[in-house]
Structure 1
Amino acid sequence: MLKSMTGFGSATQEANGLTVTVEIKTLNSKFLDIYCRLPRTFSDKEVELRNLLTQRLERGKVELSLNVNRLTEVRPGVTVNRPLVEAYLKDLRETSQGLLLDVSDSDLFRLALQQPNVFNSEAVAASDTATSDWELIQLTVLEAIRKCDEFRQQEGNGLEGKFREYIQIITDRLTLVEVQDQKRIPAVRERIRNMVTELLVSDEFDQNRFEQELIYYIEKFDISEEKVRLKNHLSYFMEVLAAEEANGKKLNFIAQEIGREINTIGSKANDASIQRLVVQMKDELEKIKEQTLNVI
């Protein structure tokens, strides 16, 4: 099953007055390249988010955007002990008046806030809230990843259809090459016969040299092995395409092997009609190579 590296997924969830929105975008990349845009409050969770993305998305340039909004009134984790602050403030005011000092109430208030036991901590409740918030964020991220993966699968299905179309065109052109090759052989045979006739009447005719040249000439023009190998490569490409472990790197490698055989056929055939078919096959092969770069 093919998966494209291009994908998008978004998810929004609400719970306990908290709204979490996650967007994930993926693009082509040789490796897994992750970029996270997080609120400062959750910047320490980036490693955990990267692990989730690595496990599910495998390869590509990945951009994650996290937005967190609290709809209900937020209760602070630390509160002020107002009666104690008032007592400190009263004592400080009386002291400054007794010493005949002109001290403003704002300065006295700042001093009062610096006294012991002025603040009451509610760290446990804050910790519980942070834990529940993170759980909701994780669920939202997983949902966005799932949607992004579905998007990639849909794109992969489209790519698979294109690959089958391109391979079929190359296969059809190869069939035409085989037909043209049958017409080419008599022409090559006649050319060799004429050359042999000219050599036989020559006073400098060398039988051994002639046989060597003849073997070289025949081998140079014979494309039988290349046609067989090209058929095998095309068949193997389709086989890998249908497999569960299909991946872009493997398909690209097979495409390179297909290209080698097409090039060799073009260079050895020495036939204008076959050359035109080779150009058409190369055109389809370039499309295949380009698209394999977008497959995970």
Structure 2
Amino acid sequence: MTAFFLKGSCARMVGSGNVSSGGATTDALIEHRREIADLLQRIKNRRLQVFGLYGTPVALVVTLLVWAGLKVFIWLNADTPTAINGIFAAAALLLGAAAVVQAIAEFGDSSPWTDSETSVRELKLDLALAEERHILEARRRTPPAMDRQASYKERIPGEIARLRGESRHYRRLHLLMQWLLFFSSAAISAVTAWYDPPQPAKGVLIGLGFTVTVITAAAGYFKPRERSFNLQQTADSIEQHTTALELGIAPYGAANEDENLGLFAATVEGIRAEQRMREQQLDQPQQGQQQVI
């Protein structure tokens, strides 16, 4: 009896130890991802800061040169209009103030910029090192295959929602293009029947004909209807397999949960690979699609 209690307590200790280890692994990997995301955002911010720091003085010089060029080539023997002087003076003042503020923010002692006087190259190096640490940490703390497959299963609802959202986007785009095409085509006939003189019907017909041509070409090139159909079909197929896994029905009726999760992950990845292939075929010209098929 004592041995039984000791064995139970040991099992609980091992289980709690596994949970604690798993939680530490998750926290460590999340921390690495946060560091990488923070560095990516810092690189974007730093690029904007450097662009503004060096681009604003250049824009100021170009503005002054354009102002002087207008005076020399257009209003050399006359006074420059007050409106033109006001616009260029306001633009030069604004650019000059922006250049001064950015220079103070970059080289000042108490700079509000996090990475002042730091090059984008250094931040990219920090990002590369952070990604390398994340890879090494993930390799060292790689969870068992069953845990990874279970985690993959939990991410599937978000993937289904993304696919359906993109499907709705392309379906609405297709409907908008079709309605514009309908109205423009009908308006061409109506304007042609209503107006006898060439004007203003001529300009209206040119605009409507241009609209019809652009919409027809865009619909044939981007194929929003086909993209919407493929995305919706992929989402429905993945949802069907997810439901089958949760209910334990074919093809996920095996008694071993590891086998079911492995089959589910392989099946969903196959469906996603087919979806990517269909997207690539839609991006190719018609002749290229026939060759691929």
Structure number with the higher strand fraction is: 1
Which of structures 1 and 2 has the larger relative contact order (alpha carbons within 8 angstroms, sep 6+)?
1
TM-score surpassing 0.5? no
* Higher helix residue share: 2
